[in-house]
Structure 1
Amino acid sequence: MDERVVLGLLIAAGIVLPGVANYALNAAGAPTVGSIVWAVGYASMVLVVWFGWIRPLDLTGPGGGTEP
């Protein structure tokens, strides 16, 4: 599967699944637990995206230029 598709599915799942769990827990009468589940799920998705796609990027500028 294309890496861009995997990234898109991961981001969608990291937002949708914790959001649905939050909604279900709020409807069941546990809003605090729902908020915790949403925050942990979203933060986990952010960490996976950071370590899997953003961190390995080489974001350095050009080297060896004629800088004053």
Structure 2
Amino acid sequence: MIVLLMGIAMLGVGLWEIIGTRKTFNQLKTGKLTTNNGFMPFALWLSFAIGVLLTLSGITCFVFGFSQMFIR
């Protein structure tokens, strides 16, 4: 049951991270957000990678936790 809840939480945080990264990227692209920070492309890429990693981990935990409910 704990693994199922962890999966749901990680899935939610991962999707939230991806959506936030996409929103920030679109704001930079359209010129609504300006920055002189040279690390911004790396920060966006890393944020997207962490979001994907959390989403995949959340799906894995969710499937494992859901399958454990029926095995017992």
Q: Tell me the TM-score normalised to structure 2 length.
A: 0.44
| Structure with bigger RCO (C-alpha 8 Å, 6+ apart) | 2
Structure whose alpha-carbon radius of gyration is higher: 1
Larger helix percent? 2
TM-score (norm 1): 0.46
